[in-house]
Amino acid sequence: MNDLLKHTIYKDPERFRLVRKIFELYATGNYSLKDVRKLITSAGLLSRKKNMLSVSNIQSILSNSFYYGVFKYNGEMYDGKHEPMIAKKLFEACQKVMADRSRPKKPSQKEYPFRNMLNCGECGCAITSETQKGHSYYRCTKKRDKKCSQKYIREEVLAEEVANELQKVSLSSAWAEWMLGELNKEEAEAAQSGAVFAQNLKDKIKELEGKLDLLLDAHLDGTISREEYIAKKEKIITEKAELSEKLKDFERNGNHWLEPARQFILAAQQAKIIALQENPVAGRDFIKRISSNRVLLSQKVAIEPKKSWQILYNLPAEARSAEATNSQHTIWLPR
Ligand SMILES: [Zn+2]
| SS3 (DSSP) at 142 | coil
Report the separation in Å between the CA atom of 116 and the middle of ligand 1, taken as the mean of its atom positions: 14
Domain range spanning residue 244? 174-258
> Are the C-beta atoms of residues 117 and 294 closer than 8 Å to each other?
yes
> Given pLDDT bands bounded at 50, 70 and 90, which one contains residue 5?
very low
With respect to residue 50, please indicate whether it lies within any of the assigned structural domains: yes
* Mean pLDDT across 261-284: 81
Give me the pLDDT at residue 103, please.
77
With respect to residue 204, please indicate whether it lies within any of the assigned structural domains: yes
> Are the C-beta atoms of residues 208 and 239 closer than 8 Å to each other?
yes
Q: Label the pairing between strands 135-140 and 76-79.
A: unpaired
How many angstroms separate the CA atoms of 320 and 318, rounded?
5
With respect to residue 272, please indicate whether it lies within any of the assigned structural domains: no
Report the separation in Å between the CA atom of 23 and the middle of ligand 1, taken as the mean of its atom positions: 39
Domain boundary among 204, 239, 258: 258
With respect to residue 43, please indicate whether it lies within any of the assigned structural domains: yes
CB-side neighbour CA atoms (13 Å) of 185: 6
Give me the pLDDT at residue 328, please.
41
Domain total of the chain: 2
Report the separation in Å between the CA atom of 155 and the middle of ligand 1, taken as the mean of its atom positions: 17
Report the separation in Å between the CA atom of 151 and the middle of ligand 1, taken as the mean of its atom positions: 9
Report the separation in Å between the CA atom of 143 and the middle of ligand 1, taken as the mean of its atom positions: 8
Q: Give CA separation, 237 vs 5, 207, 213, in Å.
A: 42, 12, 12
With respect to residue 119, please indicate whether it lies within any of the assigned structural domains: no
Q: Are residues 6 and 97 in the same domain?
A: yes
Which CATH number characterizes residue 86's domain? Answer: 3.90.1750.20
How many angstroms separate the CA atoms of 6 and 9, rounded?
6
Report the separation in Å between the CA atom of 281 and the middle of ligand 1, taken as the mean of its atom positions: 24
- Tell me the per-residue pLDDT of 220-266, one tens digit each, with 9 for 90 and over: 888 899 899 989 999 999 999 999 988 888 877 766 677 788 888 88
With respect to residue 221, please indicate whether it lies within any of the assigned structural domains: yes
With respect to residue 13, please indicate whether it lies within any of the assigned structural domains: yes
Domain boundary among 74, 101, 128: 101
With respect to residue 207, please indicate whether it lies within any of the assigned structural domains: yes
Report the separation in Å between the CA atom of 131 and the middle of ligand 1, taken as the mean of its atom positions: 19
Report the separation in Å between the CA atom of 146 and the middle of ligand 1, taken as the mean of its atom positions: 8
Q: Are residues 95 and 12 in the same domain?
A: yes
Domain boundary among 232, 258, 284: 258
DSSP string, 213-272: HHHHHHHHHTSS-HHHHHHHHHHHHHHHHHHHHHHHHHHHHTTTTHHHHHHHHHHHHHHH
Question: Of 255 and 329, which is predicted with more confidence?
Answer: 255
Q: Is the pLDDT of residue 305 over 80?
A: yes
- Tell me the per-residue pLDDT of 192-223, one tens digit each, with 9 for 90 and over: 888 888 899 999 999 999 999 999 889 888 88
Mean pLDDT of the chain: 83
- Tell me the per-residue pLDDT of 57-95, one tens digit each, with 9 for 90 and over: 999 999 988 888 777 666 666 776 677 788 889 999 999
> Given pLDDT bands bounded at 50, 70 and 90, which one contains residue 278?
low
